[in-house]
């Protein structure tokens, strides 16, 4: 038998490992579940002034619970906005940030109701712990569920990064119901839109139509490894959720989910723009984006006059501005525990980033809704064609599917 040299063995081993490293990993195991009561211990209630200059006062957990703006009831977490008739110094609201930090993986949000309405700016998003230090958008931001003033018929998904990250404008014909609105992900542009895709509205992915449909499930898959699939968002209606995303699931295989509603093909071009992220859920009123687009937002100006007048004098208009969240599940390719960000009493978020708005009903100040939503596509074929590396984390939210090529 002829022995191979150590250098030849090393080369062969490296080639084998490289081949293994680029083999697509589509299966993820459940790492952590945030059930309604877990939010009270595993998230922090942000109490600093709103970085987006909204006309709101973010309350501590104890103050929010006393004011009925935070409540766990009937298996759901409710996050509401103050609906008292007059609020001349801003309305009470809630913004929560996860104590855990997450990177690549699958994040699955099961929601029954999202906040919506004029001047309402809700968001479900992820961002680095340095958001409040003025470093934003360093480390990136991923907006999974967002809208403002109900100005768009579908949910918006977007990325915000330092200058240099862009996405192609071409969309697969399979994603014709979604629309690429902006391709420059930079958070330093004048409009600060980031690269953004609007999901379709059939099935509904936003606002009153989504809530009437019982909500749904949004799933975010973040896979920024070399050759990875990038960042994708799926949405399913309640009766269309994949079998491996049922409540008792301990593992998911994203290759069977079909074409995503949104796909940002950025793993090989923009991975360095993203760091470990905390999860943020909030509802702002007015603020930079909602105020800037007020006059173009349907009948909002005709109904309420100035946006400041609605916030100050029309508390009843916020009866639907609430979140009703049933669970948030985190799946990863390894079961290492998440890192703790040590954010302290003020959770992180992003300055120019978006914050979600929605409404739900559940108690005195608010109503709650159940949400799910479904989006399907070409199952394993799409994913196999897109990925080339193991995904670390998948974020799942109920929304619609769009793919950027």
CB 388 within 8 A of CB 22: yes
Kindly report the pTM of this predicted structure: 0.82
pLDDT band at residue 262 under the 50/70/90 scheme? very high
Spell out the domains of the chain, with CATH numbers in brackets: 24-394 (2.60.120.200)
Residue 339: per-residue pLDDT: 79
Residue 35: per-residue pLDDT: 98
Average pLDDT over residues 270-278: 97
Residue 17: per-residue pLDDT: 35
134 or 269, higher pLDDT: 269
Query: Which residues are bridge partners to 325 per DSSP?
Result: 77, 111
d(CA 14, CA 26): 23
Residue 336 phi/psi, 5-degree rounding, is -65, 140
pLDDT band at residue 405 under the 50/70/90 scheme? very low
Q: Identify the weakest region by mean pLDDT among 90-99, 123-132, 138-147.
A: 123-132
Candidates 322, 382, 108; CA nearest to 236 is 108
216 or 7, higher pLDDT: 216
Model confidence at 48: pLDDT above 80: yes
pLDDT band at residue 132 under the 50/70/90 scheme? confident
Residue 381: per-residue pLDDT: 41
CA 55 to centroid of chain Cα atoms: 22
Residue 336: per-residue pLDDT: 65
Model confidence at 334: pLDDT above 80: no
d(CA 404, CA 181): 11
d(CA 372, CA 327): 11
Model confidence at 46: pLDDT above 60: yes
Average pLDDT over residues 343-357: 38
pLDDT band at residue 277 under the 50/70/90 scheme? very high
Q: Where are the beta strands (DSSP E) in 14-138?
A: 27-34, 43-45, 56-58, 70-73, 76-79, 91-93, 95-98, 100-101, 105-113, 120-127
């Amino acid at each position: 038998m002829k022995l191979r040299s150590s250098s030849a063995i090393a080369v062969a081993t490296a080639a084998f490992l490289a081949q293994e490293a680029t083999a697509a990993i589509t299966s993820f195991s459940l790492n952590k579940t945030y059930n309604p009561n877990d939010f009270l211990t595993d998230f922090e209630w942000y109490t600093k002034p709103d970085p987006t200059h909204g006309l709101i006062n973010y309350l501590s957990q104890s103050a929010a619970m006393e004011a009925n703006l935070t409540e766990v009831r009937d298996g759901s977490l409710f996050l509401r906005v103050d609906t008292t008739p007059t609020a001349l110094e801003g309305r009470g609201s809630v913004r929560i940030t996860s104590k855990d930090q997450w990177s690549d993986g699958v994040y699955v949000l099961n929601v029954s109701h999202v906040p919506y309405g004029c001047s309402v700016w809700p968001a479900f998003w992820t961002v680095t712990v340095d958001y409040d230090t003025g470093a934003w958008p360093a480390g990136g931001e991923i907006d999974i569920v967002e809208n403002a003033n109900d100005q768009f018929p579908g949910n918006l998904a977007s990325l915000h990064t330092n200058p240099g990250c862009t996405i192609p404008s071409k969309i697969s014909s399979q994603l014709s119901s979604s629309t690429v609105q902006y391709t420059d992900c930079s958070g330093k542009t004048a409009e600060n839109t980031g690269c953004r895709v609007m999901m379709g509205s059939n099935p509904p992915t936003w606002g009153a139509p989504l809530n009437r449909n019982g909500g749904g499930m949004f799933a975010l898959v973040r896979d920024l490894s070399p050759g990875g699939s990038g960042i994708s968002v799926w949405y399913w209606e309640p009766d269309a959720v994949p079998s491996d995303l049922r409540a008792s699931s301990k593992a998911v295989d994203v290759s069977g989910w079909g074409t995503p509603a949104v796909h940002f093909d950025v793993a090989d071009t923009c991975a360095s723009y993203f760091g470990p992220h905390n999860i943020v859920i909030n509802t702002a009123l007015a603020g930079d984006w909602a105020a800037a687009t007020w006059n173009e937002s349907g009948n909002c100006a005709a109904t309420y006059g100035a946006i400041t007048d609605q916030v100050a004098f029309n508390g009843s208009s916020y009866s639907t501005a609430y979140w009703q969240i049933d669970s948030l599940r985190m799946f990863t390719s390894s079961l290492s525990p998440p890192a703790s960000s040590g954010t302290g009493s003020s959770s992180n978020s992003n300055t120019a980033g978006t914050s979600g708005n929605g409404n739900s009903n559940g108690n005195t100040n608010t109503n709650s809704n159940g949400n799910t939503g479904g989006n399907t596509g070409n199952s394993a074929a799409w994913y196999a064609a897109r990925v080339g590396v193991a995904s670390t984390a998948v974020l799942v939210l109920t929304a619609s599917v769009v793919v950027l090529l």
